[in-house]
Structure 1
Amino acid sequence: MTNRFNPPSVWATINLSDTGDPIAQVLAGEEIDLDHFVAMAGPMSNARAKNIARDPFAAAEFFHTTIRIVLEEMFGIHINARGGIDRKEGILGVVNGYVGTVEAQARGTLHLHILLWLRGAPTPRMMREALHSARFREKMAAFIRANIRAHIDGTTRENFLSTPKQFNIAYSRPEDPRLPDYPRRAAEAERRIARAVQTHDCKTHTCLKLKKGRVVCKRRAPWPTADDAWVHENGDWGPKRVYPRLNAWNPPLIQVVRCNHDMKLVTNGADTKVRTLCFLGPVQC
């Protein structure tokens, strides 16, 4: 892929909520009217967890069905009958190619790591040279503002944790763009979902690891804060972030999957090297 399309442009991971999403419950045998969905009609969270535990095939079917639809409808990637890719413009532009790996977390939930090659992305040499241009760095910052967020409007570092957090956020439906006032409803949904699923809490059994005699977060939290998206000449970059433990997300993707995920640009920066190593081999990252 690198020989054909140059280095990848975007790295992402998606952690679907198999115990929370109503589609998974339908696949596990629950009678739910997804066209007229009412969250309070049940089943409740304990029953949903038991349904998935009893039917791991339904959980796997939910994961692969959802990821296939995300690739086709959001990233514009369709695998045709010949085994090739039919492409259309998606939320990040046109994808030339992709490589994904599926992993099981400790509790058995499947999640995806994926690298995307975007059409029109610069070669490494072009990237190194272009990063010295303030105009190019601003174009990259504009791309970050549109596609990779790590800030909830109206929050500050001091008041973020006092913002109400909703639970069972995945047991819902995406906002319908055909109904009136969609931009406002979508913005409110993004804030609600991000607060619920993108906040990172370091725990011993999840991300804290002993490295060179120190306990550190393998996800490298807390992350740098900034009042706006930024790009440096060495390729380091970051989104607007005022609360240092808020993980980044893609706005259209979070509307649809309503679960924790991450998305990063692949540049010449240090974080890119770490993410690439994480993707390619078993390293502490």
Structure 2
Amino acid sequence: IKAFISAILGHDPTGKNIDGGILGIVKAYYGCVEAQGRGSLHCHLLVWVEGGLNPNDLKDRVLKDEEFKSRLIDFLEDTISTCVPDDVPDAPSVQSSTFHPCSVRGAPVDLVGDQLQAASQKDFHNLVNSCQVHAHTKTCYKYCRDGEAKFCRFDLDESNVQPDTIVNPETGEIELKCSNGLVNSYNETIIKAVRCNMDIKFIGSGASAKAILYYITDYITKTQLKAHVAYAALEVAIGKVGCADDTTNDAALRAKKVLQKCAFSMISQQELSAQQVCSYLMDLEDHFTSHSFRRLYWSNVERYINDIEPSPECYVTSPIDESVEDAIDVDIDEQEDTDLPDVDIEDVTCPATEDEVRVTVDPSGVLVADTDVLNDYLFRHKDLVNICL
């Protein structure tokens, strides 16, 4: 990934590279490594290009400036492809005709002239045909209900053909031409270099930005452990603790043992592929970024916003299944009325009202004013009023 970012994208942290890469001058990027259902690792990468406009400015330029619109369309059509390259039947033999294109290199290096060009075109055709052409399976229609028309959840279909790139005159949304509705968008230089399946999209409108932001957020925050599996693991762990012959009288210690056993039970149910295990053991990066970031503990901010403007969608009480309730309601040592000693618990705060000041105790036992990122932001100096959280 680092070689790809440096050689293909041409990102230079020193800013001395004024030529850029295949997308232009890259000023920022953020990539997250994820595992597919079968365990293979892949990277989701967002790239910010120098000179890129925000969605509103881009919309205005596209709708008002014909020259700018033409240059932008030319750039996008040159960068993003949605067709299968022409085959060359009489081209010299290439390994991708016999083996899977992802497992071999490109055209033979000992060829020259027209022979090399024909072999490269043949290999390019094999690569795109094997990696980018979508074949429908039952997972494409898993969200379709019985009796309803079936549609591919990946929005890939033979009918999705767009002869020319068009711009919506009202929204400024750019719909790129699509030669083959079953081909995932790709970049010729990238796919020839990495030799694997890929997808590339241009995020130019507010609607597209919101959609991709929702997708990324939903994707990276989803848990690998299904809810019913987690509840089952917790039930077994709590049951074992309740049946254990433990003479420990320290309630805090017993509580910690419960949490420990619950955590171990849930971790034991976590599915990890060999690639993920190797990546963790070798301490390989799980994300790639051009910038450094600070942690933002969102729970306090979300709680504050919800107190001001409650969200009916996010805070809906749902009925709890009796079996789950029974699993949770296991009395470990029948000490319901025993006051537990103080235990360090992170990120548990009681929101103060507008007229209250929260205090905490420092390690020496002295009461001090409590503060956090939320309060620091709410009561920031007037010179910082334009700074976003």
Which TM-score band applies after superposition, normalised by the shorter structure?
0.5 to 0.7
Aligned to 1:227: 163
Kindly indicate whether residue 53 of structure 2 is the aligned counterpart of residue 116 of structure 1.
no
Q: Distance between the aligned counterparts of 2:199 and 2:126, measured in 1?
A: 17
> Quick one: which amino acid aligns to residue 82 of structure 2?
A
- Cα–Cα, structure 1 residues 240 and 188, in superposed 2: closer, same or farther, change >3 Å? farther
Kindly indicate whether residue 205 of structure 2 is the aligned counterpart of residue 273 of structure 1.
no
Shift of 1:267: 1.1
Shift of 1:72: 1.1
Q: What is the number of residues matched between the two proteins?
A: 204
Q: Distance between the aligned counterparts of 1:202 and 1:269, measured in 2?
A: 30
Where 2:199 maps in the other structure, the secondary structure is strand
- Cα–Cα, structure 1 residues 116 and 278, in superposed 2: closer, same or farther, change >3 Å? same
Aligned to 1:210: 143
Equivalent runs, 1:134-145 vs 2, <5 Å: 134-145=66-77
Aligned to 2:185: 248
8 Å contact from structure 1 (residues 198, 261) kept in 2: yes
Q: Residue 197 of structure 1 is aligned with which of 131, 134, 159?
A: 131
Shift of 1:266: 0.5
Shift of 1:203: 1.6
Deviation track 1:115-143 (CA, whole Å, cap 9, x = no partner) reads 10000112233202012133332222211
> Quick one: which amino acid aligns to residue 225 of structure 1?
V
TM-score (norm. length: structure 2): 0.46
> Quick one: which amino acid aligns to residue 133 of structure 2?
T
8 Å contact from structure 2 (residues 55, 206) kept in 1: no
8 Å contact from structure 1 (residues 149, 239) kept in 2: no
Q: Distance between the aligned counterparts of 1:243 and 1:183, measured in 2?
A: 24
Shift of 1:258: 1.5
Shift of 1:179: 6.1
Shift of 1:229: 3.7
Where 2:181 maps in the other structure, the secondary structure is coil
Shift of 1:153: 4.5
Q: Distance between the aligned counterparts of 2:17 and 2:216, measured in 1?
A: 24
Q: Distance between the aligned counterparts of 1:106 and 1:69, measured in 2?
A: 26
Deviation track 1:168-225 (CA, whole Å, cap 9, x = no partner) reads 11121134789633555444332221111111122223x4331677554332222731
> Quick one: which amino acid aligns to residue 127 of structure 1?
L
> Quick one: which amino acid aligns to residue 266 of structure 1?
I
**Unpaired segments ≥5 residues, structure 2:** 88-96, 221-389
Aligned to 1:44: none
Q: Distance between the aligned counterparts of 2:186 and 2:34, measured in 1?
A: 20
- Cα–Cα, structure 1 residues 101 and 216, in superposed 2: closer, same or farther, change >3 Å? farther
Q: Distance between the aligned counterparts of 2:53 and 2:27, measured in 1?
A: 13
Shift of 1:228: 3.4
> Quick one: which amino acid aligns to residue 227 of structure 1?
P
Q: Distance between the aligned counterparts of 1:187 and 1:236, measured in 2?
A: 33
Equivalent runs, 1:1-285 vs 2, <5 Å: 67-77=1-11, 89-132=20-63, 133-154=65-86, 168-175=100-107, 180-181=112-113, 183-205=117-139, 207-210=140-143, 215-222=150-157, 224-233=160-169, 234-268=171-205, 270-282=207-219
Q: Distance between the aligned counterparts of 2:35 and 2:137, measured in 1?
A: 19
Q: Distance between the aligned counterparts of 1:280 and 1:217, measured in 2?
A: 22
Shift of 1:75: 0.4
Shift of 1:68: 1.7
Deviation track 1:3-55 (CA, whole Å, cap 9, x = no partner) reads xxxxxxxxxxxxxxxxxxxxxxxxxxxxxxxxxxxxxxxxxxxxxxxxxxxxx
TM-score (norm. length: structure 1): 0.61
Aligned to 1:16: none
Where 2:142 maps in the other structure, the secondary structure is strand
Where 1:265 maps in the other structure, the secondary structure is coil
Shift of 1:255: 0.7
8 Å contact from structure 1 (residues 166, 192) kept in 2: no
8 Å contact from structure 1 (residues 71, 78) kept in 2: no
8 Å contact from structure 1 (residues 74, 253) kept in 2: yes
RMSD over aligned Cα atoms? 3.2
After TM superposition, the structure 1 stretch with the greater mean CA deviation from structure 2, 145-154 or 264-273, is 264-273
Where 1:103 maps in the other structure, the secondary structure is strand
Structure of greater Rg = 2
**Unpaired segments ≥5 residues, structure 1:** 1-66, 156-164
Shift of 1:105: 0.3
8 Å contact from structure 1 (residues 189, 255) kept in 2: no
> Quick one: which amino acid aligns to residue 101 of structure 2?
I
8 Å contact from structure 2 (residues 84, 180) kept in 1: no
Q: Distance between the aligned counterparts of 1:176 and 1:276, measured in 2?
A: 42
Q: Distance between the aligned counterparts of 1:185 and 1:230, measured in 2?
A: 35
Aligned to 1:10: none
Shift of 1:256: 1.1
